[in-house]
Structure 1
Amino acid sequence: MNNYPLITIVVPVYNANQTLSKCITSILNQTYQSFELLLIDDGSKDNSLAICEAYASKDERIRVFHKNNSGVSSTRNLGIQMAVGKYVCFVDSDDWVDADYLETLNKHMQPNGLSVCQLTINNYRRDDNFLLSFTPKQAQISVLDSNGMHGFPVCKLFDLNLIKKNHIFFDEEISICEDLLFCIQYLRYEPSIISYSGKKPYHYFRSLQGATNSRFKYHTDFDQRFLSETEAIRKCKNFLLPNIDVYKACKMRYIKAAVNTLRTLEANRCQSSNLYSNLLSAVRKNCFDYVFSPYGVKSSKISVLASAISPSLELKIWHLVN
């Protein structure tokens, strides 16, 4: 690679042989071409690594890394460490992007800034016609709000210098909402320009088998990592900008996390734990504040109310809907 790329794209890969080629091809077909692509295999047991190496042999912009399986956070962190671009963005290996993904993000990016777009659920893209500019405090609220720009690491273009200078990495002890925590940390250092576009060039593949949703199903062997969402929000509090509305948004996001964790405990028959009692008390104490707050989508408000009545009832409703 003769010239340093402007953008580094990091793709964590784990047992993704069915979707990986579509993902990589969509990235290589970008209209904006000043990028490098880091494919980081997290100890896949299928032929994902071979697919990565086959693409790298044909395109010098691709670099492949292989590591022992240790989770998506450590995989993304390795990508950050190995990146040489000015900016960095993320794509998940079971998703794909339209040709204007990088162009959309880069168009509104400034040094020490943050550029954000929206995502499309699966195939049917319908852009929204807006371009918003946020202050860092407004951005933290939006990231915490289910109606806002979310805490996904994808659909965002970060300044790599700001990340490395402030030692911002994904928390490897958190398995749920580690990406939200990362975004809140990034915004703590007050990016200069924060742009949010209504375009939706990122295609997110929604699966009930992913870690976020699979925790709500009944498990023979319970994984304690499924309980890390409330811990992630608690850690977010350490990086909030001093503003009453930011604090309120974080408090309401904690109540949503508490409902999700109660649903997890209920699904795994752990109702007798102290965590269960403490979270249920918090939900019941704050349920009406959440329902009448400007934060959260309608379905989340219904879930909070149902959980305050009975987490068992809320779990049954979730299974019916999903």
Structure 2
Amino acid sequence: MIQQPELTVIMPIYNVEKYLTRALDHLAKQDDPNFKLLIVNDGSTDNTRKIAESYRERFRYFKIINKHNGGLSDARNVGIANVDTPYFTFHDGDDWVDSGYTAFFVRAFHDHPDAAMVSCGFWLDYENKQGSVPVTKKQVRGMKGKARTYQLISNPFGSLCDNHCLATPVKGYTWNKGYKLSVVRQNHLHFMKDLAFMEDQIFNVQYLALTEGFYCDSTPIYHYWQRKDSMVHHFNLKMIPDNFKANYIVAKIIVRSLWQEHRKENGSEQKLIEASERDQR
């Protein structure tokens, strides 16, 4: 008897006919096929929708939502609104994953029940290079405190430059993260729709500020395709004000969160001191 799926993979797609077959072929060959695939077609004008529909029989649980073009954040928000499993993650339509991708998130949440978010490592793949390259050789594994988690996720330069020297196996992306639906529902979290980029980093920092517990395993299982025509590799003037705005929001959330953490720790220490003094009387 097949148990109800615990994980939904949200895949926002827009004009990715050149890459979608590869993405869905890999996703259809998971070690743990008991997950829900939720595709959000954001008004594609090429053959993206037709290709997606052709994979309906390859997945146990398959749903596609076709909507007018509203941008990536809007597509992600629509995806979240339609999730009905305890956990969910994101998958870009031009990337692909190793066979242990879906199993990782379910297992990580089961093995680390105190974690509100879990994260895997990822590969970088290039059009003009053979083979996959891990984003960094740094090994990170285990539960992390808030300060360390913010350090692993934050990237102040956003997409303004190719900053692999600052790479971590975590970063602010959504496609290598697993989330709990209950956290999003209870706190009415959503992606900001008026930013050109870094909206994923803001979402992650907001999520972490409201929760306790982050688990990371830097073993790469997601393949991040480095497209030359991708928005993040093409500079435009809107990136400059959006970069300042996004970094201001991220910094504000982090500072407030760490200050609250500091006050909570000091309060706990004070209670221990007072309890010790009472015992000595």
Q: What's the TM-score bracket when you normalise by the shorter of the two chains?
A: 0.7 to 0.9
Amino acid at match of 1:53: E
Matched with 1:76 is: 76
How far apart are 1:238 and its partner, in Å? 3.9
* 1:113 and 2:116 correspond: yes
Matches within 5 A, 1:197-276: 197-215=217-235, 224=238, 227-240=241-254, 241-243=256-258
Letter in 2 for 1:11: M
- Give the C-alpha shift of residue 226 in structure 1: 6.4
Q: Counterpart amino acid of 1:78? A: V
Give 1:125 shift: 5.2
Shift of residue 85 of structure 1? 1.2
1:143 counterpart residue number = 153
Give the drift of 1:210.
1.2
Q: 1:78: Cα distance to partner?
A: 0.6
Cα pair distance change 1:63/1:132, threshold 3 Å: same
Residue aligning to 1:124:
132
User: Is residue 196 of structure 2 the alignment partner of residue 189 of structure 1?
Assistant: no
Q: Distance in 1 between matches of 2:92 and 2:83?
A: 16
Distance 1:213 1:105 in 2: 29
**Paired residues, number:** 237
User: Whole-Å Cα distance in 2 between the matches of residues 226 and 94 of structure 1?
Assistant: 26
Tell me, in whole angstroms, the C-alpha distance in 1 between the residues paired with 2:230 and 2:142. 31
> Contact conserved, 1:170 with 1:179, CA < 8 A, in 2?
yes
Name the SS of the counterpart of 1:69 in structure 2. coil
- How far the C-alpha of 1:102 sits from its partner, in A, is 1.8
Q: Alignment partner of 1:76: what SS?
A: helix
The unaligned stretches of length 5 or more in structure 1 are 217-221, 247-322
Partners of 2:8 and 2:35 within 8 A in 1: yes
Q: How far apart, in 2, do the equivalents of 1:228 and 1:65 lie?
A: 29
Give the number of the structure with larger relative contact order, counting CA–CA contacts within 8 Å between residues 6 or more apart: 2
The alpha-carbon deviation at position 205 of structure 1 amounts to: 0.4
Q: What do the CA deviations read for 1:128-161 (whole angstroms, capped 9, x no partner)?
A: 6541321123212221153432100111111111
Residue 111 (structure 1) shift: 6.1
In structure 2, distance between residues paired with 1:194 and 1:117: 11
Within the candidate set 160, 168, 172, 2:181 is matched to: 160
Q: Please show how residues 10-21 of structure 1 align to structure 2 within 5 Å.
A: 10-21=10-21
Q: Secondary structure at the match of 2:9?
A: strand
Counterparts in 2 of 1:28-39, with a 5 A limit?
Answer: 28-39=28-39
Q: Distance in 2 between matches of 1:227 and 1:46?
A: 32
Percent identity of paired positions between Structure 1 and Structure 2: 22
* Code of the aligned partner of 1:198: S
- AA matched with 1:124: S
CA contact (8 A) 1:13 1:40 kept: yes
Q: Deviations over 1:9-45 (max 9, x none)?
A: 0011000111101101111211122210011110001
After TM superposition, the score normalised by the length of structure 1 is 0.68
Displacement of 1:175 = 1.8
Mapped to 2, the partners of 1:75 and 1:185 lie a distance apart of 19
The residue type paired with residue 178 of structure 1 is E
Q: Secondary structure at the match of 2:50?
A: helix
Q: TM-score, normalised by structure 2?
A: 0.77
More helix by share: 1
* Larger displacement relative to structure 2 (152-161 or 207-216): 207-216
CA distance in 2, matches of 1:112, 1:66: 33
Alignment check: 8 A CA contact 1:128 1:199 kept: no
Letter in 1 for 2:258: N
Q: What is the letter of the counterpart of residue 13 of structure 1?
A: I
CA contact (8 A) 2:23 2:97 kept: yes
